[in-house]
Structure 1
């Protein structure tokens, strides 16, 4: 990977951080997958074959890189490129020090498709010096997934690959 592939305009990173911070503020709606067990989030078979845009483990390389790029404003706790799993550590937006977020992104397939990606967003708020789980805004998870998909498609277009 080149240094260029790790750099993004500051506006894109700030925008992603803003989506997480603003989407969760003032809402008590839950997202699908907030408390879903990992086996439900991982979905079905990840063994489909694909073209040049694949990692050796069976996940789409553009989705994988798009997820890493999109979530790069948060501390990354763990990654598994073969299994297609990215987990962040807790992130506290600078403007809201009494709430924090954690994201898990799962790339499920070799194809660049919206159903090849699952995102789970976890939110906690501080109450009496303790962190308490609380739902995220309804659109937070879908907004982050859309940003990952947009970045993945941009990476594919930049690479000149229009397959899948």
Structure 2
């Protein structure tokens, strides 16, 4: 009689545990499934942060690339003339300064020229242009990282 009571108690305990946790050997990773994990912030197979590198190339893809150095983290474009404004051209240079995906790991420099009397003349770049490009590249890099996790 005692043995039957112990077996009944054991079965009741197993049943209550199964009800609480998704089966007798339940899935203990419910929190992991709810929280999407990110891919590593440091992927450096090319010498610099791969997310920043890819995001920079994607962001500047409308411009012709003049020079790239993936080990040094430098991308330089040719002069780009906007078809809507034929009297103005821009050039960009991006340096990736760190192997980590961080806001201070990228520096953008832009140059602008206007056409005056048949000659291209250097002029100032609109305030915030470099910072805006940095923000676009960083956001794209973060999106690439998030998408790499699956």
TM-score (norm 2): 0.71
2:81 to 78, 89, 92: 92
- Contact 1:78–1:88 (8 Å) recurs in 2: yes
Select the structure that is richer in helix: 2
Unaligned residue ranges in structure 1 (runs of 5+):
1-49
Are residue 135 (structure 1) and residue 124 (structure 2) matched? yes
Are residue 66 (structure 1) and residue 55 (structure 2) matched? yes
Q: Which has the larger radius of gyration?
A: 2
What are the equivalent positions in structure 2 for 1:14-163 lying under 5 Å apart? 53-57=43-47, 59-160=48-149
Question: Distance in 1 between the 2:43 and 2:141 partners?
Answer: 11
Q: Deviations over 1:122-152 (max 9, x none)?
A: 0000011000010110011111111100110
Question: Distance in 2 between the 1:119 and 1:112 partners?
Answer: 15
* Cα drift, residue 61 of structure 1: 0.7
Larger relative contact order (C-alpha < 8 A, sep ≥ 6)?
Answer: 1
Unaligned residue ranges in structure 2 (runs of 5+):
1-39
TM-score (norm 1): 0.65
Question: Distance in 2 between the 1:122 and 1:51 partners?
Answer: 30
Question: Distance in 2 between the 1:51 and 1:125 partners?
Answer: 40
Equivalent pairs counted in the alignment come to 111
